[in-house]
Structure 1
Amino acid sequence: MKQWLFRPHEWMLARRYLRSRRSERFVSLISWSSGIGIAIGVMTLIVVLSVMNGAASEIRDKMLGFSSHIDVQGPGDTLEGWRGWLKTVESLPDVERAAPYVQGQVLASYGARAYGALLKGVDVARSDDIAQHIIRGRFVNSEGSPFQVVMGKTLVRKLGLELGDQVRLMSPSGGISPSGAAPRMRGFTLVGVFDSGFHEYDVGVILTPIPAIQRLNRMGDAVTGLELFLHDRELASQVAGQVKSALPSGAWVIDWQQRNRAFFNALKTERVAMGVILSLIIMVAVFNMVASLVMVVMERRKEIAILKTIGASRLSVMRIVMLMGTMLSGIGTLVGAILGLLLAWKLDVLLAWIETITGVQFMSGEVYFIDHIPSKIDPMSVSVIVIISLIMGVLATLYPAWRAASVPPAEALRYE
């Protein structure tokens, strides 16, 4: 094992061979350019994966800000005996709170403008988390008429509403008239505007007290289902199984991971694909380093031959070349990791400054799910990137090291 340890003179020679003489500056430039390429690849990988991790986390937080961790519904379209079910699920230790809800599609109109939206009836006493997103006005309450709504800022802007305006909501759950089925329509007072940070909610969700939508659709005391919020949302799939076992056989239970499985699987696949594609930057730099080290070996044939004639072993020569490549890849990886972490750490500030200077918005909430570019550094991903980069750098030195060890002294010094 001791014969594989690097000796002081080998470190000295490796450093000296990386420094160029006047006639070898081109070779040295190629060598260091490979290290720069590795640094750029590592930096890009860290930044891109941090942005994708941040986007996935941001979207998940925004989605769950207005959505339950577990959704419970009955065998039919509505749930009649929901109060008993509510007591059952609230008794489970992992459930922080539970609340009934009623929801249905409506057409919201004001003046000549009309947009489709999801009207959701909430239990006012159990919706403090939603009330925290109100930016104008107030949240709905149980005082006075129940026909009051809060709407997302984007939908309010599209309809041209102001606080106190009457918006007409038309529900397709209509009754039977002499002319056939007819939708139900009712005026609601806009009492507040919320900003969820998630465009899909800001443009398509209207909140109202449960009695209002029950009366609009003539549902009596029935609700659509129950919303469960957990102490730890990552345990949603396990708790969903417990909920299903505790409720009657007709209960339909789905957690947030199942509800959004296709979306988050797509994000995961995109993150993996992007990582593989960007890894090609590092691979190109590594191949560049192989070529540059081979050129260094060819330029240093005389020095290598002299080393072998004065007693340097093949293994010692290989270690010198491997040290050269390891230093190049190590410095490139270290610089790339530092720059990548700094850029990912302050990416939102940098992009906000660029948007202010240029007046260009990089992400529009009406096109994407979020209106900014978040960044979340994952220590595990950074560690994997650094380790893989170092391993690739070490492997890239094997062929040039073998070429250096194979230099025949007699032939290299024949005309000297």
Structure 2
Amino acid sequence: MANCGFYCVKLIKMPFEWLVGLRYTRAGRRNGRNSFISFISAISMAGIALGVTALIVVLSVYNGFQKVVTERMVSVLGHVEVYDVGGTGFADWRTAAAGAARNPQVKGAAPFVEMQGMLVHGGDKLRPSVVRGILPEEEPKVSDIGEQIKEGSLDVLKPGAFNIILGAELARELEAKVGDRVALALSQGNSLSNMAPTLRSFTVAGIFEVGHNEFDSGLALVHMEDGLPLLNMSGPFALRLRLQDMQQAPAVANELRAALPGQLVVRDWTKQNAGWLAVVKSQKSMMFIILTLIIAVAAFNLVATLVMTVTDKQADIAILRTLGASPFSIMKIFVVQGALVGVLGTMIGVAAGVVLAMNVGVIVPAIESMFGMKFLSKDIYFISAVPSDLRWSDVAAIGATSVLLALVSTLYPSWWAARVKPAEALRYE
């Protein structure tokens, strides 16, 4: 006893179930008899690692897609919009803006009007669009569209000049360049007897590119003073607000709805884009479930591995039972063996997934260049680059799910091992 030294201390600190379980996990590499079992364990570990890696990367791409598109939408739409539904509009929009600014979350406000019409260029190029009337000096307080203008600037929008700034895709579809004249056709009236459109000519004075196809192909900007006469209004009917934290928009909208006087409708960006957000959320949930099944298949391979191990180690189990090991201790041995495979596979998968997710912006362009292809066409999708937003909460959930599935997979083989009867197991030994 005096000569065992460090090893005795080590054995005392580690339960024998852990020692035996770890030994069984390594045995296949040192004993040719168990090489097939070791191979199946390696396959199970690799499957778990691959499933975890794929799930982390896919969810990171979904998060990145949602983040980029949301930022681009909000940069044009604003965080909260306040509409006057009384029909008169905001006679004094600055007073309404000052009332909204009493909320500590509101850091900017600007008025606007919107009209839906048809833009015509060259007599044969027609495109439907939303034409937004803004105040150039106020717009930077609520949006970033001034920074996204490729030709011209917001300063070209002057009252009475009837200049217009087009989205890049809209300009391309109209074949209109800076300096060209385009006509805006607006329908007037709701009856068949009064359907003659109102026409107004504008000069293209700028082109913007948000990077979101919906706005680049269907939005145009004019000065608010040029748009109000077309709507027969004397003042703007809506305000756009920018908040300190866009995630607080639903709560701020409820507060403003209760605090502001008049017949108002208050909408935050989550309500304006509720359909799109719901689709992204449901797709992300379905993808999580589908890819989790890959991890589950790999984890359940542990059942076959442990069953073969139990069959091969029945004599060892019988000897341990004869020496006084309880059925629960036998269960713990094989739970340790299976859990070790699951934990190692999960750790490898998490490491690989995090590295890939953090370098999607480098890996995807390299693949596109190598094969001469484009994953996201700018003409079809909102964005043309594959984004990634790694969230550690997702990584933790994926890792915990993977380890849990591995542990569940060890229960039946471990229970079966605990039921081995020593006398029957040693009969033919």
TM-score past 0.5 threshold: yes
Q: Deviations over 1:56-93 (max 9, x none)?
A: 21221111010021111112455142423233223332
CA gap of 1:244–1:294, structure 2 versus 1, over 3 A, is same
Aligned residues: 412
Matching residue of 2:184: 169
Matching residue of 1:106: 117
CA gap of 1:51–1:105, structure 2 versus 1, over 3 A, is same
Task: Supply the distance in 1 between the matched residues of 2:323 and 2:344 (Cα, whole angstroms).
Answer: 31
CA gap of 1:200–1:77, structure 2 versus 1, over 3 A, is farther
In the TM superposition, 1:55-94 aligns within 5 A as 55-77=65-87, 79-83=89-93, 84-94=95-105
Structure 1 counterpart of 2:32, which letter?
R
Pick from 235, 253, 269 the counterpart of residue 256 of structure 1. Answer: 269
Matching residue of 1:207: 221
Secondary structure, aligned partner of 1:146: coil
Residues 308 and 409 in structure 1, CA contact (< 8 A), matched pair in contact too? yes
Structure 2 counterpart of 1:396, which letter?
S
- Which 4+ runs in 1 deviate beyond 6 A? none
Structure 1 counterpart of 2:125, which letter?
R
In the TM superposition, 1:152-231 aligns within 5 A as 152-173=167-188, 180-219=194-233, 221-231=234-244
1:123 aligns with 2:130: no
Secondary structure, aligned partner of 1:124: coil
Task: Supply the distance in 2 between the matched residues of 1:180 and 1:11 (Cα, whole angstroms).
Answer: 86
Structure 1 counterpart of 2:180, which letter?
D
Task: Supply the distance in 1 between the matched residues of 2:260 and 2:291 (Cα, whole angstroms).
Answer: 49
1:391 aligns with 2:404: yes
TM-score, with structure 1 as normaliser: 0.91
Structure 1 counterpart of 2:31, which letter?
R
Q: 1:358, CA displacement in angstroms?
A: 2.0
Secondary structure, aligned partner of 2:318: helix
Secondary structure, aligned partner of 2:420: coil
C-alpha RMSD of the superposition? 2.5
TM-score, with structure 2 as normaliser: 0.89
Structure 2 counterpart of 1:305, which letter?
A
Secondary structure, aligned partner of 2:117: strand
Task: Supply the distance in 2 between the matched residues of 1:370 and 1:415 (Cα, whole angstroms).
Answer: 69
1:48 aligns with 2:58: yes
CA gap of 1:9–1:87, structure 2 versus 1, over 3 A, is closer
Residues 110 and 167 in structure 1, CA contact (< 8 A), matched pair in contact too? yes
Secondary structure, aligned partner of 1:407: coil
Residues 130 and 219 in structure 2, CA contact (< 8 A), matched pair in contact too? yes
Q: 1:180, CA displacement in angstroms?
A: 4.9
Q: Deviations over 1:278-326 (max 9, x none)?
A: 1111111121111111011112223333444455443433222122111
Task: Supply the distance in 2 between the matched residues of 1:31 and 1:244 (Cα, whole angstroms).
Answer: 60
Identity %: 35
Residues 363 and 372 in structure 1, CA contact (< 8 A), matched pair in contact too? yes
Q: 1:335, CA displacement in angstroms?
A: 0.4
Structure 2: gaps of 5 or more residues: 1-11
Task: Supply the distance in 2 between the matched residues of 1:400 and 1:117 (Cα, whole angstroms).
Answer: 65
Structure 2 counterpart of 1:92, which letter?
N
Structure 1: gaps of 5 or more residues: none
Secondary structure, aligned partner of 1:182: coil
Q: Deviations over 1:248-305 (max 9, x none)?
A: 2411211112222232122212211221121111111121111111011112223333
CA gap of 1:12–1:382, structure 2 versus 1, over 3 A, is closer
Structure 1 counterpart of 2:270, which letter?
Q
Matching residue of 2:7: none
Task: Supply the distance in 1 between the matched residues of 2:318 and 2:115 (Cα, whole angstroms).
Answer: 83
Q: 1:216, CA displacement in angstroms?
A: 3.5
CA gap of 1:143–1:107, structure 2 versus 1, over 3 A, is closer
Task: Supply the distance in 2 between the matched residues of 1:368 and 1:191 (Cα, whole angstroms).
Answer: 27
